[in-house]
Each structure stands twice: as C-alpha cells, then as structure tokens.
C-alpha cells in the first residue's frame, strides 16, 4: 500500500488478500514462480508500465484504506453488533407455549431457547 500511495509501480504476490487490497494498482505475480516475479520486475525496470496511470488509479484506491475510512467501518460494525446484542430477547415461557401449540417445531429450537442468556455488554 505504501508504494501504491506514493505512486510507485508496485509488484505484489497473487496470494491471500493481497490482490483484493491492491486491485489493479499493482502487477501481481505467482508467489510460487520466481520467473514470474523476475518478469514483473523486468517489466517495471524497463518502463513498460504506465506509472502515471497507476499513480492516478492509486490515488482513488488508497482513500479506501485511510485511517478515517477504516475507523468508520469499525464503528459501523460495532454499532451493528451492539444493536443485535441489545435486541429484545424471546421470553422462554412464551416460546414454550408457542412450541406446545405448534408441535412441528424443531427440538433444536427449543434447546436453543433454553440456553442461558449471555451477558450483553453495551458497545459505544
């Protein structure tokens, strides 16, 4: 990401989440192929890469990974988690009555309802 942010042509392994992170802003090589890596290095060294185009693409993509955007995503995730954890719980007695009325209910549903309710910490 640092090379991309600086507008430097980047070469990255086509493995894990790297391709997702760098997108089209880097040349990807097969990590099991030293020859592929050498070819990518040669491509960059010979100036066969449009560095200005990569720099332009990088400016657009790098904002996705700014601290502000990452922090916003984390806060959104925590708020969603907080909403799910503070949702009203099913009353076990009421649920048992419903299950008794409708005997087609799955036993696993009954077992899940009988689980002790976890403590629900408030987030944010």
Binning pLDDT at 50, 70 and 90, where does residue 95 land?
low
Residue 88, token pair as written in the block:
């009203």
Contact by Cβ (8 Å): 18, 36: no
Domain C-terminal end among 50, 66, 82 = 66
- Pairwise CA distance, residues 33 & 18, whole Å: 16
User: Do the domain assignments include residue 122?
Assistant: no
Binning pLDDT at 50, 70 and 90, where does residue 30 land?
very high
What are the beta bridge partners of residue 10? 26
- Pairwise CA distance, residues 14 & 12, whole Å: 6
User: Which residue range forms the structural domain that includes residue 80?
Assistant: 69-114
Mean per-residue pLDDT, 3-27: 85
> pTM for this one?
0.52
Binning pLDDT at 50, 70 and 90, where does residue 5 land?
confident
The more confident residue out of 100 and 60 is 60
Same domain, 51 and 95: no
Beta-carbon-side half-sphere exposure of residue 68 (alpha carbons within 13 Å): 2
Same domain, 62 and 74: no
Same domain, 60 and 46: yes
Binning pLDDT at 50, 70 and 90, where does residue 118 land?
low
Same domain, 58 and 108: no
């Amino acid at each position: 990401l640092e090379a991309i942010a600086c507008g430097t042509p980047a070469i990255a392994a086509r493995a894990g989440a790297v391709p997702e992170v760098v997108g089209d802003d880097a040349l990807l090589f097969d990590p099991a192929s030293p020859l592929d890596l050498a070819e990518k290095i040669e491509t960059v060294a010979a100036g066969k890469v449009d560095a200005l185009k990569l720099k332009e693409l990088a400016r657009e993509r790098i904002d996705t990974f700014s601290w502000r955007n990452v922090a916003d995503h984390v806060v959104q995730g925590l708020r969603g988690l907080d909403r799910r954890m503070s949702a009203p719980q099913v009353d076990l007695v009421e649920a048992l009555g419903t299950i008794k009325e409708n005997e087609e209910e799955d036993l696993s549903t009954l077992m899940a309802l009988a689980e002790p309710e976890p403590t629900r910490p408030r987030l944010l």
